[in-house]
């Protein structure tokens, strides 16, 4: 189960999937309150159905649905909510001694309330969340661009003032060219000055690690490893690789450990803003890395639940 979590890391590179996760997270309590109201209505209609039709449905009709107990009444009402084969319940209830007008009112009212109101409310909350998220993203992008532009203009003004003080008129143009050609700070947004209390921002080793950890090539390579790991995990279910796949598992686990190590050295661990464990996705990556280490440590132990194919052999 924990090895399957690696697939979730693919969401990081998909902006629209990140938006979906963010919307679901923000609307969680709205969904929870609506779910509680829906549950109350389910209980109400299950009790009403049990009161009306308990012991009255004709079992000879060949349908498994009934209202004889609260458990089966709840299942029947939930089936009506999803409108899945609801005609079976219609036939059962209309062939009872209960007045048909009451039966029609019971069935139609619950389908309208449950399926067309409650389920559409869930969709409405979700759509509203996407609209709000899109507006927030647009405002954030505009504010970020404006803030970045103002910061650049302010920095240029300050540098020009320094140039006027330190450069003569003949060297002013050369100074401007030097400022324009000056590269950006590679550790922009990272406040950790000494990662793991050893690797400072001035160390060439940390700069190289940071360049590797933030490069698109490295990120795409890790994504390819995740996809390959997911495919291999699916194939392990049918024991296509057998014990010969152990070196492959070790190699992929080592790559994930190296990725986490590079990012920790580059950003710091947790204490400063922008550190590795200050990001939710990185926390998930860290959990996966820890599970990978445990996976490698227990590989020689006789645990029938440790591998996917061993799980099937266990049963």
Sign, Cα dihedral of 171, 173, 176, 177: negative
Query: What is the spatial distance between Cα 14 and Cα 51, in angstroms, rounded to a whole number?
Result: 51
Where does residue 55 fall: left (phi above 0), alpha (psi -120 to 50 degrees), or beta otherwise?
left
CA-based nearest residue to 9, from 223, 215, 243? 223
Q: Domain holding 204: CATH number? A: 1.20.120.350
Q: Do 18 and 103 belong to one domain? A: yes
Q: Do 121 and 209 belong to one domain? A: no
- Residue 14 lies inside a defined structural domain of this protein: yes
Query: What is the spatial distance between Cα 233 and Cα 308, in angstroms, rounded to a whole number?
Result: 8
Query: What is the spatial distance between Cα 163 and Cα 173, in angstroms, rounded to a whole number?
Result: 10
pLDDT attached to residue 175: 52
- Residue 171 lies inside a defined structural domain of this protein: no
Per-residue DSSP letter, 189: T
Q: Do 238 and 119 belong to one domain? A: no
Does this model's pTM top 0.95? My answer is no
Number of domains the chain is built from: 2
- Residue 170 lies inside a defined structural domain of this protein: no
- Residue 108 lies inside a defined structural domain of this protein: yes
Q: Do 202 and 119 belong to one domain? A: no
| Contact criterion met (CB below 8 Å) for 17 and 11 | yes
Q: Do 14 and 135 belong to one domain? A: yes
In the block, which residue shows the tokens 């012991």? 55
- Residue 264 lies inside a defined structural domain of this protein: yes
State which of 139, 173, 208 marks the end of a domain: 139
234: its two tokens? 């699916």
Distances (CA, A) of 226 to 17, 145, 239: 17, 33, 19
Beta strand ranges found along 68-205 (DSSP E): 194-195, 199-200
- Residue 199 lies inside a defined structural domain of this protein: yes
Query: What is the spatial distance between Cα 274 and Cα 271, in angstroms, rounded to a whole number?
Result: 9
- Residue 157 lies inside a defined structural domain of this protein: no
State which of 139, 154, 180 marks the end of a domain: 139
Q: Do 216 and 92 belong to one domain? A: no
Per-residue DSSP letter, 306: S
Q: Domain holding 129: CATH number? A: 1.10.287.70
CA-based nearest residue to 77, from 112, 43, 102? 43
pLDDT attached to residue 310: 38
Q: Do 118 and 232 belong to one domain? A: no
State which of 139, 156, 172 marks the end of a domain: 139
pLDDT of the chain, 315 residues: tens digit per residue: 666 666 666 666 666 666 777 787 888 888 889 999 999 999 999 999 999 998 888 766 667 888 888 999 999 999 999 888 888 888 888 888 889 999 999 999 999 999 889 888 888 888 888 888 777 766 666 666 777 777 776 766 676 666 656 555 545 455 544 544 455 566 666 777 888 888 887 888 888 888 888 888 888 888 888 888 777 777 776 665 555 556 777 787 888 888 888 888 888 888 877 788 887 778 877 887 887 778 777 765 544 444 443 333 333
List own/partner pairs for 103-112 with CB under 8 A and 24 or more apart.
Answer: 103/52, 106/45, 106/48, 106/49, 106/52, 107/80, 110/41, 110/45, 110/77, 110/80, 110/81, 111/80, 111/81, 111/83, 111/86
Q: Do 92 and 208 belong to one domain? A: no
Q: Do 39 and 131 belong to one domain? A: yes
- Residue 135 lies inside a defined structural domain of this protein: yes
Contacts of 106 (CB under 8 A, 6+ apart): 45, 48, 49, 52, 93
Collapsing DSSP states into helix, strand and coil, what is residue 200?
strand
pLDDT attached to residue 314: 34
Q: Do 9 and 135 belong to one domain? A: yes
Q: Do 43 and 127 belong to one domain? A: yes
**Structural domain harbouring 46:** 3-139
Q: Do 308 and 205 belong to one domain? A: yes
């Amino acid at each position: 189960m924990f090895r399957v979590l690696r697939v979730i890391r693919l969401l990081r590179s998909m902006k629209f999937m990140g938006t979906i996760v963010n919307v679901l997270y923000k609307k969680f309590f709205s969904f929870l309150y609506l779910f509680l109201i829906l549950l109350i209505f389910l209980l109400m209609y299950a009790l009403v159905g049990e009161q009306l039709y308990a012991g009255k449905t004709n079992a000879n009709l060949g349908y498994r649905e009934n209202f004889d107990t609260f458990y089966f009444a709840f299942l029947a009402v939930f089936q009506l909510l999803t409108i899945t084969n609801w005609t079976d319940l219609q036939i059962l209830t209309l062939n009872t001694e209960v007045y048909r007008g009451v039966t029609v009112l019971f069935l139609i009212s619950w389908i309208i309330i449950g399926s067309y109101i409650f389920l559409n409310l869930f969709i409405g909350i979700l759509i509203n969340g996407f609209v709000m998220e899109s507006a927030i993203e647009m405002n954030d992008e505009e504010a970020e661009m404006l803030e970045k532009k103002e910061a650049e203009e302010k920095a240029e003004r300050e540098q020009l003032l320094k140039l006027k003080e330190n450069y003569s008129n003949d060297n002013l143009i050369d100074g401007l060219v030097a400022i324009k050609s000056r590269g950006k700070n590679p550790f922009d947004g990272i406040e950790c000055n000494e990662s793991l209390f050893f690797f400072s921002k001035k160390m060439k080793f940390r700069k190289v690690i940071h360049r590797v950890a933030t490069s698109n090539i490295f990120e795409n390579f890790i994504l390819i490893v995740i996809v390959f790991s997911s495919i291999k995990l699916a194939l392990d279910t049918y024991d296509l690789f057998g014990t010969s796949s152990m070196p492959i598992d070790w190699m992929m686990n080592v790559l994930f450990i190296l990725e986490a190590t590079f990012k920790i050295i580059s950003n710091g661990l947790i204490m400063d803003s922008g550190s590795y464990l200050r990001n939710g996705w990185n926390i998930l990556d860290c959990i996966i890395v820890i599970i990978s280490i445990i996976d490698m440590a227990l590989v020689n132990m006789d645990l029938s639940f440790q591998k996917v194919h061993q799980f099937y052999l266990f049963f």
